[in-house]
Amino acid sequence: MSEPTTHRLQPEIYYYTFGPNPPALRVRSGDRVVARTRDARGYDETMAPLPEERKQRHPDCEYCSSNPLVGPIYVEDANPGDVLAVQIEAIQLTRPSAWSRHNQHFGCFTGEGPGRRLLFNAPVPEQQYDWQLDLARGVGRLALPNSRIGAVEIPLHPFIGSIGVAPRFGRVETALTPGEYGGNMDCIETRAGTTLYLPVWVRGAYLAFGDVHAAQGDGEICGVALETTAEVTLRLWVLPGRALEWPRLEDDTHLMAVGNARPLWEAIQIAHLQLVEWLVADYGYDRWEALQVLSQVGTMRIPNVVDPAYTAIAKFPKRFLP
Amino acid sequence: MSEPTTHRLQPEIYYYTFGPNPPALRVRSGDRVVARTRDARGYDETMAPLPEERKQRHPDCEYCSSNPLVGPIYVEDANPGDVLAVQIEAIQLTRPSAWSRHNQHFGCFTGEGPGRRLLFNAPVPEQQYDWQLDLARGVGRLALPNSRIGAVEIPLHPFIGSIGVAPRFGRVETALTPGEYGGNMDCIETRAGTTLYLPVWVRGAYLAFGDVHAAQGDGEICGVALETTAEVTLRLWVLPGRALEWPRLEDDTHLMAVGNARPLWEAIQIAHLQLVEWLVADYGYDRWEALQVLSQVGTMRIPNVVDPAYTAIAKFPKRFLP
Amino acid sequence: MSEPTTHRLQPEIYYYTFGPNPPALRVRSGDRVVARTRDARGYDETMAPLPEERKQRHPDCEYCSSNPLVGPIYVEDANPGDVLAVQIEAIQLTRPSAWSRHNQHFGCFTGEGPGRRLLFNAPVPEQQYDWQLDLARGVGRLALPNSRIGAVEIPLHPFIGSIGVAPRFGRVETALTPGEYGGNMDCIETRAGTTLYLPVWVRGAYLAFGDVHAAQGDGEICGVALETTAEVTLRLWVLPGRALEWPRLEDDTHLMAVGNARPLWEAIQIAHLQLVEWLVADYGYDRWEALQVLSQVGTMRIPNVVDPAYTAIAKFPKRFLP
Amino acid sequence: MSEPTTHRLQPEIYYYTFGPNPPALRVRSGDRVVARTRDARGYDETMAPLPEERKQRHPDCEYCSSNPLVGPIYVEDANPGDVLAVQIEAIQLTRPSAWSRHNQHFGCFTGEGPGRRLLFNAPVPEQQYDWQLDLARGVGRLALPNSRIGAVEIPLHPFIGSIGVAPRFGRVETALTPGEYGGNMDCIETRAGTTLYLPVWVRGAYLAFGDVHAAQGDGEICGVALETTAEVTLRLWVLPGRALEWPRLEDDTHLMAVGNARPLWEAIQIAHLQLVEWLVADYGYDRWEALQVLSQVGTMRIPNVVDPAYTAIAKFPKRFLP
């Protein structure tokens, strides 16, 4: 096969919504895209803030200010009913620091979020945490002055926190609320070596991404991971007629299906049903036998219990495929 | 006061989303709007279908096909941080029939909806129910050939099922999913004599409405009410600087606050917190004394447990206001 | 029919669980029981506390200290698979005062309860509210020194907050957590003129009750109603072979079915399914026609969103029965 | 230290509830217990059924028929406010077969369970699956006649599905519904090499266990794992005054805390809050620094989304302890 076209994407405007915003780039199936992402608050690798005039702005309304996105990328020949396969080739961290944060009204314990203040809740003490990243060794370090341990050093595992296409039904969604289109799933598995399959809902797909995390635990309990910047390399493929209802992922070892919903149990149901459907449609499994095997060998990860929609991933080991 | 300007709105295009779609009408605070709505499937008072070319269409994507909306109405001087007060002056039913429907994959018992198929569920038997409306007597009649009772005749209480403004954060939402902007709340109280207060999130507000119900029970359990057409008369007022987070309603007897969310308990929390806030901000109640009184005299209605976001209304009797 | 036997029940021991505790009374189907209940904290009509030695105690464990119950009443000829019909003949308030309370870690806004502390929550300010009851006029009055209104006077509507039988499967449950056996449902409808139908799970039924409320709003939002004492008169009937899965109620105007569960949506599903089943089994409704009619004329009340299981009541107007 | 006393427990009666049932054995802190468990339907290692007269039976009521338990074990000197540490020394599978099952009205997709039938749901096709266990190689094999793959062979990882003490507040709970006392948590981590910490709610603790699984996936999606028999060896310790609210586990690599509740989000909150509390109380972590580190390095497993209470486990790697 011929060498793919590589596009270097330098966004002028960063968007805070997933939707058919004016494309920043047009590509074809098989092309490669390389782009530098800003962190969840818009800082770049030098910690320079994102200038106001480069943020998605409309004089008539305000935007949720988390997760500025690179894109959108318009994929020629991507039509509703197709799948956009996003092969994550590399995520190169580009800054020796990441920050995390406890916000007063966000996170698993508060149950709150932008636009959803529960006025009787105690605010969580607002606090920023500055992690130093040793990119050569692949670790992050945080001083803990109030704890006996004094500091921790944790392995880094960079991944894309927010990546999706324009949503279904003409919806435009914030970069904070994942859904049937992907979005802010905070999925550890969205890393180099994984292919992400996204349903195409709007012709052109309108892929956008950002919010790279250097590390994160399950659930993203405090609401914020190790937020940093990266250079992301993706290869994009259109799979015609492979209609999906929800995102999926695949790597060397697992088939994975995603549900994004509230309540969490619904996200779990969606993910597991999609995984069974995949086993039936593509791997010759009988539906009920697939349910039995999945029930005994499947694993489940809960990436996010903090966003307006929660995320669940159901995973099936490929060693049990024919 | 001078006579308000009355606008007769005849939509060319019916929208299936709430958002800053091209305005169908521009009005000023204090104006009156009269419009004829189509039913949830787009039929008019003669049961003529909505022609495809008059539906919100975009060549690049499909829309959820429920609840075509009249509007949007651009309200001059409505700015973010203001409230749009919608005084519902009249809802005149215009057709001697309404239909309801059991859909295979929608409703309280299935937990499904557009884009959310739970593949292992039994489909509910698809069935249309044709109600005859006697508008003079204000009753609806349904033949029940398989039941001992043979038929029922129920009182009608027309109300607007879907009414809202452009959502927050630049979102565009389907006419099926209510939220912080109003929308498909299926609220019985959204009837003549009630004023609905909607937060203005986008300058101009972009009010839209449709989906009038001739009658409906709590929860909208089967997913569909008595769907029909009506002529709706609204008076619109801008209340500057009266910022709200969620919709509210008011009639002669009650203050009411609305939560639209999943899970339902969250919608209930939102509604009750907003109601307490209202009592504190406008009626001189101490926060905790307001909580106590509300806990003893408040009522709660659950209009919808079928849509992608559920609706709860918390109600406080005005007889307990100073 | 001959005059029913009337039993005056003066409990020696007050139980804090629903289960096959040693019966305080044995009755037959058709008998009447009159008993004086203590309030939710065990005070009697003179505000005398419940002595420790008269509380259900076991040297080996502690009990949840809310809702001391009168009973249990062993009903001869009540067998598993039967229904115990509890005809509530009278609830006579017996004290000119009721108290309510805000507890630090209980109520709709905290989501906490006994054994379920969410350590990061703000405690709600602990506060007792003393309501004066004018039993002749049927109103309760509360001074509100911190609010502009100064005081409120509200109508009383006494009802039984906790009433149930021994649970299913050999379970023993606290007087705080309702379930398939009834229990702490906090149902406004559990008042004079209503008949409560409880499934018999254990031979003898083991009916117990207490926790009379002088008044209460939907949801019992702060966690506590107007707690007071009463003399309760019940007539008990065994309906053989009329097996139920969940409690039901009936009065002059409505058939009602109850669900007690978390999450709330599940309680709502249970209640509505049971109501449909009732219409089919006893009133000749076709299942799907019953669903349609219920969807259009049904009402729903949410008595409690504070206890370890939430309660939902689905109601069907009897005017639509053959 | 002197050799611990080893008790071989041969139950006469198998209980279907967790509660202060008549003890089958009395032990002291430090003792070892060895017992053979029956499978979830009561079959022993020869597939002989459990005779009716050896099942917990009461002439007055029926029991939920899943998970017959070995015990209860009365632990001398175990008092409310203490912790019972259960050191799982060995789980030796004793039968070359396991069965799994799809039941009509149970499992993640139906949302149903004993006593909770949703009458409109499609029954899942009832089907038993017979797994052959090669205990020497530690694998299980299932023929899949309707699937292309033909059969699967999966690694075994035996663990105890149900283990707990008498519940709190005088409750008696089925062997199906986990809670603040442990119970049917279906936790993969409850395996040899792990210590389970259970709060003592009733003097004597009344430990019981059963329901060993040869293997299981996250969520126990179909409702049933690989059910089989085993010989279980436990060492029991009383930790005086180490009061817990919820169960915990510990192995070589992780501290783990458990929440058992509905909705699942509540179980997740409970588990994570308990884990933070543990880090603060025993490891000198500052509360907010613990939250930050847990948010970045914690993992979460969801063992069960099928039982009347769901289970979540929050896990903290011990490498990040001082």
Instruction: Write down the mean pLDDT value for chain C.
Output: 95
In the structure encoding, which two tokens stand for residue D143, read together?
């023929």
**Could you tell me which of D23, D80, D104 has the C-alpha nearest to residue D203?**
D80
What is the C-alpha separation between A16 and A56, in angstroms, rounded?
A: 6
**Residue pLDDT, tens place only, A40-51:** 999 999 999 999
Q: Is C116 on the interface with D (CB under 8 A)?
A: yes
What is the C-alpha separation between C42 and C45, in angstroms, rounded?
A: 10
DSSP three-state, residue D166:
coil
Q: Is A156 on the interface with D (CB under 8 A)?
A: no
**Could you tell me which of D320, D271, D318 has the C-alpha nearest to residue A148?**
D320
Q: Is B122 on the interface with D (CB under 8 A)?
A: yes
Give the pLDDT score at D111: 72
| Cβ contact A308:A116 at 8 Å | yes
- Cα C109 to Cα A93, B271, C303, D274: the distances in Å are 42, 11, 15, 21
Minimal-distance CA residue of chain A relative to D274? A109
- Per-domain boundaries in chain C: 6-94+160-212+229-237, 98-155, 250-320
ipTM of the complex: 0.95
Q: Is A206 on the interface with B (CB under 8 A)?
A: no
What is the C-alpha separation between C7 and B37, in angstroms, rounded?
A: 63
Helix, strand, coil abundance in chain D, percent, nearest 5: 15, 40, 45
Q: Is D104 on the interface with B (CB under 8 A)?
A: no
Name the band, by pLDDT with cuts 50, 70 and 90, for residue A131. Answer: very high
Give the pLDDT score at D106: 86
**Residue pLDDT, tens place only, C109-149:** 877 777 777 666 777 899 999 999 999 999 999 999 999 99
| Cβ contact A112:A106 at 8 Å | yes
CB-CB under 8 Å, A170 with B17: yes
Chain A residues whose beta carbon lies within 8 Å of the beta carbon of residue B171: 17, 171-174
Minimal-distance CA residue of chain A relative to D320? A152
Q: Is A121 on the interface with C (CB under 8 A)?
A: yes
| Cβ contact C289:D135 at 8 Å | no
Out of D109, D118, D263, closest to residue B118 by CB: D109
Out of C109, C120, C263, closest to residue A118 by CB: C109
B6-94+160-212+229-237 and B250-320: same fold?
no
What is the C-alpha separation between C272 and C259, in angstroms, rounded?
A: 8
Ranges of beta strands (E only) in chain A are: 6-9, 17-18, 25-27, 32-37, 69-75, 83-93, 97-102, 127-134, 139-144, 150-155, 159-164, 173-174, 182-183, 195-199, 205-213, 230-239, 248-250, 254-261, 299-304, 310-317
CB-CB under 8 Å, D117 with C169: no
Give the pLDDT score at D4: 85
Tell me the nearest-neighbour CA distance from D271 into chain A, angstroms. 11
In the structure encoding, which two tokens stand for residue C257, read together?
């079915």
For B71, the enclosing helix (H) or strand (E) is: strand B69-75
Name the band, by pLDDT with cuts 50, 70 and 90, for residue C2. Answer: low
Contacts 24+ apart (CB under 8 A), D116-119: D116/C261, D116/C266, D116/C270, D116/D308, D117/C245, D118/B109, D118/C269, D118/C270, D118/C273, D119/C273, D119/C276, D119/C277
What is the C-alpha separation between C294 and B217, in angstroms, rounded?
A: 7
Residues 268-297 of B with CB under 8 A from C: 268-269, 272-273, 283-286, 288-297
Give me the mean pLDDT over the C230-239 stretch: 98
pLDDT at D107 over 90: no
Torsion of CA A110, A116, A120, A125, to 10 degrees: 50
Minimal-distance CA residue of chain C relative to B300? C218
Task: Give φ, ψ of A15 to 5 degrees.
Answer: -95, 150
**Residue pLDDT, tens place only, A15-61:** 999 999 999 999 999 999 999 999 999 999 999 999 999 999 888 88
pLDDT at A232 over 60: yes
Of the ranges A295-304, C16-25, D108-117, which one carries the lowest mean pLDDT score? D108-117
Tell me the nearest-neighbour CA distance from A109 into chain C, angstroms. 7
Of A2 and A300, more confident:
A300
Q: Is C262 on the interface with A (CB under 8 A)?
A: no
Out of B118, B124, B263, closest to residue D120 by CB: B124
Q: Is C125 on the interface with A (CB under 8 A)?
A: no
What is the C-alpha separation between A55 and C225, in angstroms, rounded?
A: 51
In the structure encoding, which two tokens stand for residue C28, read together?
């037959």
Give the pLDDT score at C198: 98
- Cα D274 to Cα A254, C118, D250, D315: the distances in Å are 32, 9, 13, 11
Residues in chain B: 322
Name the band, by pLDDT with cuts 50, 70 and 90, for residue D1. Answer: low
Tell me the nearest-neighbour CA distance from D291 into chain A, angstroms. 7
pLDDT at D2 over 70: no
What is the C-alpha separation between B135 and B97, in angstroms, rounded?
A: 9
CB-CB under 8 Å, B170 with A172: yes
Residues in chain C: 322
- Cα C73 to Cα B114, B120, C65: the distances in Å are 51, 44, 21
Give the pLDDT score at B1: 54
Chain C residues whose beta carbon lies within 8 Å of the beta carbon of residue A110: 120
CATH superfamily, region D6-94+160-212+229-237: Acetamidase/Formamidase-like domains (2.60.120.580)
What share of chain D has pLDDT > 90, as a percent?
A: 88
What is the C-alpha separation between A149 and A151, in angstroms, rounded?
A: 6
CB-CB under 8 Å, A168 with B169: no
pLDDT at C170 over 90: yes
pLDDT at D236 over 70: yes
What is the C-alpha separation between D30 and D72, in angstroms, rounded?
A: 17
Name the band, by pLDDT with cuts 50, 70 and 90, for residue C3. Answer: confident
Name the band, by pLDDT with cuts 50, 70 and 90, for residue A138. Answer: very high
CB-CB under 8 Å, B273 with A203: no
Tell me the nearest-neighbour CA distance from C150 into chain D, angstroms. 39
Chain C residues whose beta carbon lies within 8 Å of the beta carbon of residue A263: 263
Minimal-distance CA residue of chain B relative to A20? B60
Minimal-distance CA residue of chain D relative to C274? D119
**Residue pLDDT, tens place only, A82-113:** 999 999 999 999 999 999 999 888 888 877 77
Pairing of strands B32-37, B6-9: parallel
- Cα A275 to Cα A270, A272, C117: the distances in Å are 9, 5, 36
Residues in chain A: 322
Minimal-distance CA residue of chain B relative to D120? B109
Chain C residues whose beta carbon lies within 8 Å of the beta carbon of residue B221: 272, 291, 294-295, 298
Neighbours of D (≥3 Cβ pairs closer than 8 A)? A, B, C
| Cβ contact B237:B76 at 8 Å | no
Sheet harboring D205-213: ordered strands across? D25-27, D69-75, D205-213, D159-164, D182-183
Per-residue pLDDT for chain B (322 aa), expressed as one digit of tens each?
A: 567 899 999 999 999 999 999 999 999 999 999 999 999 999 999 999 999 999 998 888 889 889 999 999 999 999 999 999 999 999 999 999 999 999 888 888 877 777 777 666 777 899 999 999 999 999 999 999 999 999 999 999 999 999 999 999 999 999 999 999 999 999 999 999 999 999 999 999 999 999 999 999 999 999 999 999 999 999 999 999 988 999 999 999 999 999 999 999 999 999 999 999 999 999 999 999 999 999 999 999 999 999 999 999 999 999 999 9
Tell me the nearest-neighbour CA distance from C106 into chain A, angstroms. 13
Pairing of strands A182-183, B310-317: unpaired
What is the C-alpha separation between A169 and C71, in angstroms, rounded?
A: 58
Give the pLDDT score at C272: 96
In the structure encoding, which two tokens stand for residue D189, read together?
């981590």
In chain B, the N- to C-terminal Cα span, in Å, equals 28
CATH 3.20.20.70 fits D250-320, yes or no: no
pLDDT at D113 over 90: no
In the structure encoding, which two tokens stand for residue D23, read together?
């003890």
